[in-house]
Chains A and B, each alone.
Chain A
């Protein structure tokens, strides 16, 4: 609109010259709004149920105006789900998990994509092929392996890798590396050779080039991967289910299950707990959504 008035500053605005209604645009927006509502609805609905008491939803049904709203469910979920401990415990796996995965993956990606050596292509293939492997395929041998691998008592109260947070951490790193290496190696291939050659001429070692030249240049890719990996590892329930035996060592995703009884489940309480559990991923996503979206398309056009 401003450009239209700018072009004809002297003339009286003519009604007929107003921009015609763009039906296509309206259609797009209608579609986007519909999709946004469809996606937001379950989250908002869970929040609404969480604000109502069990008696209220039982007597009046889920689709009803509330007789009263309360935050009790959130407080109860916090204590009954033991969320404080759960958050800390989960972050103790997620944060080192993300950092170590990215560090190691960037090393492998660097070696495989920036250097030409006998098996660099093959190594890359093996890691990428690991992506195709469904986790479920290896659970039986992995379970036995964890039971059989001894650890010193100082590190592990069970004396083996099984039922240890470090065991969960390790398997996350292993399984997330394939994806990170794939993305990072593609990204590194796009960096100009001259930069590393300059480093080489200045006498930088391989490690130095990786740390001082490659990693800073990979920052967008690393940020995107960190966001994705945080979500992946935080949301994981599978490995903990398989490799952790003590209920108290399981991550936050299992807190939700703890609120369900043998028969009876207070769904309002469960909704409150779900909302609380989802908060960190939502926060990470909102704060880093630019990287998140970039992460989804990373590697898709490179090469």
Chain B
């Protein structure tokens, strides 16, 4: 509205009549643009000056601080903005205050904005501790010097986490930068009542899986609910197919650019996906995941491969519907990688911002370290996963007895996995995963699975090669 009105105002006869005005506009504009161009040429997210890590501050661990004797405050930048997570986050902060008397000020910013602005946020005036994700996204900011190494915190936390979590918290330089709070598995979700009514069995192998899909089709059901309007949900399908077919190491190397997308192994993944595509809900490119999940709720679709956050939708309907939700791991393919039982189980957690008050030497740094140390305990994580049961706590000493059936099963599933990945958009560089990259390529594949896959994978590799070196 704003722009339209102005544009029409400016193009009116008045301007033409005065002539000069338009000319002035044209002469002024280039100057203004030129003045900004050097900065404007870089993406907005990298607008903030890159912080040079101060070796003494960001790498050398400070002495371990016991919670006793802490004073002052610590601040938390949180993107847990919707009601339930927001309250859970506040409750954790309050628990810390109760334990240490250090007051926590929470700055909650909505999820999308927080993520879009993360670079300018971390380069501007960030809070001491901020919520973030494991994976490439974590290592990237660690490498940029935006986060403090917290090896000292990890000396205490080490015994409380499995190795997978420690790996997920470690930067490229071998130091720890991240404290996991929870994760959730990606698996095939279904409704117990539907399977019971129709006499379906949970498939263990790909052959069983395909047979079940066929059976569902004869029963007039959509076998696999599917949505990819936002670009990311279908990445989960690629991840699991690649993990099953080519194994963890190949997948990780592919995400890191060490393997080529033109590899016959990648083409095999897309071919397998193509075989399964007739069982998927059609029109995925225009559907958001919640609408696909709705098909599962309404029992018009039989299964849905998604993260456990799908249970939030069931919970929002009512508790009985949530109790009817169950999942099984994606079927194995009968190859050498069956034993890995690998899956996407993205980890969320916390980091300390280098440009925050805690990033500088002083008392607040001790507070921030104590705070993330506290968040790494079961006592803190119990509070969170009780409020939002679509996740399971990351710490070993978390109380799992109060978990619901889904959470119990998730613990088993994740525990059984030898290898855990974070999800494509967390495991590879953001510009590659983004709207111009894999999001776009996967949408293209979904719209036409029978296209020439050699040319298709070449276009992906070409895109990877066109990216600037990752900083």
Q: Is the CB of A128 within 8 A of B25?
A: yes
Given contacts A131-B10, A147-B124, contact A58 B110 (CB under 8 A): no
A54 within 8 A of B: yes
The answer to whether B125 and A140 have CB atoms under 8 Å apart is no
- How would you classify the secondary structure of chain A's contact residues: helix, strand, loop or mixed? helix
CB pair B21–A158 under 8 Å, yes or no, is no
Q: Does A149 contact B (CB under 8 A)?
A: no
Q: Which listed residue (B5, B18, B124) contacts A296, Cβ 8 A?
A: B5
A248 to B105 CA separation, bound complex (whole angstroms): 12
Residue numbers in B under 8 Å from A303 (CB-CB): 13-14, 17-18
Contact at B24–A247, with CB atoms within 8 Å?
A: no
A186 contacts partner chain B, Cβ-Cβ < 8 Å = yes
Nearest chain A CB to B276's CB is how many angstroms away?
Answer: 23
Q: How far does the Cβ of A189 sit from chain B's closest Cβ, in whole Å? A: 10
In the bound complex, what is the Cα–Cα distance between A132 and B29 (angstroms)?
A: 8
Q: Could you say which residues of chain B place their CB within 8 Å of the CB of A262?
A: 79-80, 82, 85, 111, 309
Chain A 184-205, CB within 8 Å of chain B: the 1/0 string?
A: 0010000000000000000000
**A-contact bits for B1-38, CB 8 A (1 contact / 0 none):** 11101100110111101101100110011001101100
Is the C-beta of A120 less than 8 angstroms from some C-beta in chain B? no
Count A-side interface residues using an 8 Å CB cutoff.
60
B1, B24, B28, B121: which contacts A245 (Cβ < 8 A)? B121
Residues of B within 8 A of A44 (CB): none
A258 lies within 8 A of B81 (CB): yes
* C-alpha gap A141/B10 in the complex (Å): 26
When distances are taken between beta carbons in the complex, the residues of chain A under 8 Å from B309 are: 262-264
Q: Evaluate contact between B110 and A260: CB separation under 8 angstroms.
A: yes
B317 touches A179 (CB 8 A): no
Given A58-B317, A147-B124, A231-B1, also A131-B9 (CB < 8 A): yes
A143 in contact (CB, < 8 A): yes
- Considering only residues 314-337 of chain B, those with a C-beta below 8 Å from chain A are 316-318
User: Is there an interface contact between A257 and B112, defined as CB atoms closer than 8 Å?
Assistant: yes
Interface residues of B in 19-60 (CB under 8 A from A): 20-21, 24-25, 28-29, 32-33, 35-36, 39-40, 42, 44, 47-48
Say yes or no for A219: interface residue by CB 8 A criterion: no
Q: Per-position contact with A for B78-109: 1 when CB-CB < 8 Å, else 0?
A: 01111111000000000000000000000111
Whole-angstrom distance between the alpha carbons of A140 and B43 in the complex? 9
Asked whether, in the complex, the Cβ of A264 is within 8 Å of the Cβ of B316, the reply is yes
Please measure, in the bound complex, the distance between the C-alpha atom of A157 and the C-alpha atom of B138, giving whole angstroms.
30
Residues of B within 8 A of A245 (CB): 107, 109, 121, 124-125
Residue numbers in B under 8 Å from A179 (CB-CB): 5-6, 9
Provide the A101-143 mask, 1 if CB < 8 A to any CB of B, else 0: 0000000000000000000011011101101111001111101
Q: Is the CB of B85 within 8 A of A125?
A: no
Q: Decide if B290 is an interface residue (CB 8 Å cutoff).
A: yes
Total number of B residues with any Cβ neighbor in A under 8 Å: 60
A220 at the interface (CB under 8 A from B): no
- Contact present for A58 and B316 (CB under 8 Å): yes
CB-based nearest A residue for B311: A264
Residue A87 at the chain B interface, CB threshold 8 Å: no
Give Cα distance in the complex from A125 to B307, angstroms: 56
A187–B407 alpha-carbon span in the complex (Å): 68
Residue A235 at the chain B interface, CB threshold 8 Å: yes
| Complexed CA–CA distance, A303 and B19 (Å) | 13
Contacts of A247 in B (CB 8 A): 81, 107-110
Q: Check: B294 CB closer than 8 A to any chain A CB.
A: yes
Report the nearest A residue to B318, measured CB to CB. Answer: A55
Measured CB to CB, the closest approach of chain A to B162, in angstroms, equals 23
Q: Are A140 and B47 in contact (CB under 8 A)?
A: yes
**A128 in complex: contacting residue of B10, B124, B125, B312, CB < 8 Å:** B10
Bound state CA distance, A296 and B8, in angstroms? 9
Question: Is B312's CB under 8 angstroms from A125's CB?
Answer: no
Instruction: Judge whether A302 is part of the interface by a CB distance below 8 angstroms.
Output: yes
Q: Which residues of B contact A124 (CB under 8 A)?
A: 21
Interface centre among A76, A261, A265 (most CB of B within 10 A): A261
Contacts of B108 in A (CB 8 A): 247-248, 258
List the B residue with the shortest CB-CB distance to A302.
B14
Please report the C-alpha to C-alpha distance between residue A126 and residue B85 in the assembled complex, in whole angstroms. Answer: 49
What per-residue 1/0 map shows which CB atoms of A23-65 lie under 8 Å from chain B?
0000000000000000000000000000000110011010000
Would A125 and B21 be within 8 Å (CB), given that A55-B316, A254-B110, A296-B5 are in contact? Answer: yes
Known A58-B313, A140-B39, A296-B5; judge A261-B107 contact (CB<8 A).
no
**Which residues of chain A are within 8 angstroms of B107 by Cβ–Cβ distance?**
245-248
Nearest B residue to A80, CB-CB: B83
Of listed B32, B47, B83, residue having the most chain A CB within 10 A: B83
Cβ-defined contact, B1 with A264, below 8 A: no
Give Cα distance in the complex from A260 to B15, angstroms.
44
> Which of chain A's residues have a CB closer than 8 A to the CB of B21?
124-125, 128-129
Listed by A's residue number, 8 A-B pairs whose Cβ atoms lie within 8 Å are A58-B313, A129-B21, A140-B44, A143-B120, A247-B109, A257-B110, A260-B112, A267-B290
Q: Which A-B residue pairs are the 5 nearest by beta carbons?
A: A257-B110, A125-B24, A264-B312, A140-B39, A261-B82
* Interface residues in chain B, defined as those with a beta carbon under 8 Å from any beta carbon in chain A: 1-3, 5-6, 9-10, 12-15, 17-18, 20-21, 24-25, 28-29, 32-33, 35-36, 39-40, 42, 44, 47-48, 79-85, 107-113, 117, 120-121, 124-125, 289-290, 294, 297-298, 307, 309, 312-313, 316-318
